[in-house]
Chains A and B, each alone.
Chain A
Amino acid sequence: MGVLDDLYQQLILDHYRNRRGRGRIEGASASVHENNPVCGDECYLDILVVDGRIAEIKSDGDGCSISQAAASMLTVVAKGKDLGDALDLVEHFRLMMHGEAEPDEDLLGDAIALEGVARYPVRVKCALLSWLALRDCIADYRKSVPTGG
């Protein structure tokens, strides 16, 4: 059971059962739809950008506990960040998932609980799905608003 506890920390199960930031944003500044070809899981991510900051972020779709918890945690921690900081956050999370960065709890918030996922290569994609969606979302937004930050 020790191994499972390591992967499925209480915080993850909590975010899975009580998902934060779930839904879509009407009139979103940017939206992306990603899917995990391994399992068919889907993830929608919408952001509303105001003054170069993520004023609102929501995620929808279905997936496993890891992907749903990761999306839930992302919406909490990314909300209010300016776009540059949000990209740094995503990159830090990505490096943590690949075991290439020492996790910074202040930066990651609840998402620190996903650290153990890095030891399950098949599940890393689950955790990254929504986070990389945010990266794409910001890129799309910047393309659509060249001077927007």
Chain B
Amino acid sequence: MRSSAQHALDALALRAEFPILASPRPGGGEVHYLDSAATSQKPQRVLDSMDAYYRETNANVHRGVYEMAAEATERFEAGRDAVARLVNHPRDATVFTKNATEAINLVAWAWGVRELGEGDEVLVTLMEHHSNTVPWQIVAGITGATVRFCPVTPGGEIDMDAMRQMIGPRTRMVAVVHVSNTLGTINPVEEIVAMAHEAGALTMVDATQSVPHMPVDATAIGSDFLAFTGHKMCGPTGIGVLAAAPSRLEAMEPFLGGGEMISDVTTEGSSWNDIPWKFEAGTPPIAEAVGLGEAVAFLEGIGMQGIRAHEKQVAQQMLDALDEVPGLTIYGPRDVEHRGASVSFSLDGVHPHDIGQFLDSRDVCVRAGHHCTKPLMRHLGVQSTARASAYLYTTDDDITALRNALIECRKWFGVS
């Protein structure tokens, strides 16, 4: 029997809303899905909302004069309202993209390529996901700017003293992850944004691993740009969000050109649509926006505070359970006040790939690899780690299954 007594929310009841989690595995057991940092599962109501859109009112948005098209536009824009509301950001500065990666690339190309030059610096951290590193490296290669990496402390936190020293007159952009997908660290982004702004630099906050898991107030954070993705927050793949300062979006030239993003097109040139549509070339992810809007309603119904409280408990349980496994090393902060419920670890004598494979045979799904954070892996002195990551539907039983499978795994590979 699964149990979730004394938890901040009823994860057991919530599981029932997720078809994948409620269905038995081929062997008859239930899946212990501990890879929500890679992608979350989807509740039935999100699937239904997308299905209903296609069945009832599929039409392109912002075009047709007929009623179905108006309805499609309304549902699509309602998705934007929901997302903007969730992160307390103006709706007209809330841009839909393909994913968080594209949101960051949008800024790297629309702002970086035009504004950066020789001698300019983009400051990132060693714990960034590749999505907040590689776009800046590409743009640096074009513009002659330099990408610098702020170090990470042995405890798995951004070295704030180093950050203070590295932000200087040459710094044009500080791009930092809110919650590390590998270490789980919650970074003091408000402080970093304030430091960057004081030095006249712009800021990009990668909120991919925070928005799904805790209250995030984009206005309070105050960054120029904040990116996140739909599929990690109970929504569909194929949609991400860029929440930007309205004045930045107004000042920036478009990223992708095409339909939808123009005000007028002549043989001599074109002018741009209002924000946010200026940055949404082509037919947007309509069903995905509808699904994401429904996901937001689902999350709001539970309450982001409650989700965060639950995940703090789960993170503590997970740390305690992993401590019971001999030969196991945990990376990242130990204090659940400063971390999310995504925990990377290694096991002496067993490669993370083998851990992942063995755990799969026990219906425990974890990620093994570099988690798209290779600079961080090199810094930690490992090639890869295993990672267990929880969400609102993670129960005590999932954690117990993880611990038991890891103990068995050591025996299987002859480590004792």
A residues within 8 Å of B by Cβ?
1, 3-4, 7-8, 13, 16-17, 38-42, 62-66, 68, 120, 123, 126
Residues of A within 8 A of B413 (CB): 13, 16, 65
Does A64 lie within 8 Å of B369, measured CB to CB? Answer: no
With both chains docked as a complex, state the minimum distance between the C-beta of A122 and any C-beta of chain B, in angstroms. Answer: 8
Residue of A nearest to B377 (CB): A40
Contact among B357, B369, B383 for A42, CB-based, below 8 A: B383
Does B384 lie within 8 Å of A17, measured CB to CB? Answer: no
Contact among A1, A4, A126 for B353, CB-based, below 8 A: A126
Residues of B within 8 A of A65 (CB): 351, 353-354, 413
Does A17 lie within 8 Å of B414, measured CB to CB? Answer: yes
Contact among A7, A16, A64 for B352, CB-based, below 8 A: A64
With both chains docked as a complex, state the minimum distance between the C-beta of B182 and any C-beta of chain A, in angstroms. Answer: 12
Does A39 lie within 8 Å of B414, measured CB to CB? Answer: no
Number of interface residues of B (CB under 8 A): 17
Residues of B within 8 A of A66 (CB): 353-354
Known: A40-B369, A40-B370, A40-B374. A64 touches B361 (CB 8 A): no
Apart from the given pairs A39-B352, A42-B383, A120-B357, 10 other A-B contacts in the complex at a CB distance below 8 Å:
A4-B358, A17-B414, A38-B369, A39-B383, A41-B353, A62-B383, A66-B353, A68-B351, A123-B357, A126-B353
Residues of A within 8 A of B351 (CB): 62-65, 68
Q: Is B54 an interface residue (CB 8 A)?
A: no
A126 to B368, CA, bound (A): 13
Residues of B within 8 A of A8 (CB): 412
Residues of B within 8 A of A17 (CB): 414
Does B353 lie within 8 Å of A64, measured CB to CB? Answer: yes
A64 to B351, CA, bound (A): 5
Does B353 lie within 8 Å of A39, measured CB to CB? Answer: yes
Could you name 29 residue pairs across A and B whose Cβ atoms are closer than 8 Å?
A3-B361, A4-B357, A4-B358, A8-B412, A13-B413, A13-B414, A16-B413, A38-B369, A39-B352, A39-B368, A39-B383, A40-B369, A40-B370, A40-B374, A40-B383, A40-B384, A41-B383, A42-B383, A62-B351, A62-B383, A63-B351, A63-B353, A64-B351, A64-B352, A65-B354, A65-B413, A66-B353, A68-B351, A123-B357
Residues of A within 8 A of B361 (CB): 1, 3-4
With both chains docked as a complex, state the minimum distance between the C-beta of B37 and any C-beta of chain A, in angstroms. Answer: 17
Residues of A within 8 A of B369 (CB): 38-40
Q: Which of B352, B357, B368, B413 has the most CB of A within 10 A?
A: B357
Residues of B within 8 A of A4 (CB): 357-358, 361, 412
Known: A40-B370, A40-B374, A64-B352. A7 touches B384 (CB 8 A): no
Residue of A nearest to B349 (CB): A17
Residues of A within 8 A of B358 (CB): 4
Interface positions of B from 332 to 360, Cβ below 8 Å from A: 351-354, 357-358
Does B357 lie within 8 Å of A39, measured CB to CB? Answer: no
A8 to B370, CA, bound (A): 23
With both chains docked as a complex, state the minimum distance between the C-beta of A7 and any C-beta of chain B, in angstroms. Answer: 7
Residue of A nearest to B351 (CB): A64
Known: A4-B361, A4-B412, A65-B413. A39 touches B370 (CB 8 A): yes
With both chains docked as a complex, state the minimum distance between the C-beta of B130 and any C-beta of chain A, in angstroms. Answer: 11
Residues of A within 8 A of B368 (CB): 39
A1 to B377, CA, bound (A): 32
Residues of B within 8 A of A63 (CB): 351, 353, 383
A41 to B368, CA, bound (A): 11
With both chains docked as a complex, state the minimum distance between the C-beta of A1 and any C-beta of chain B, in angstroms. Answer: 7
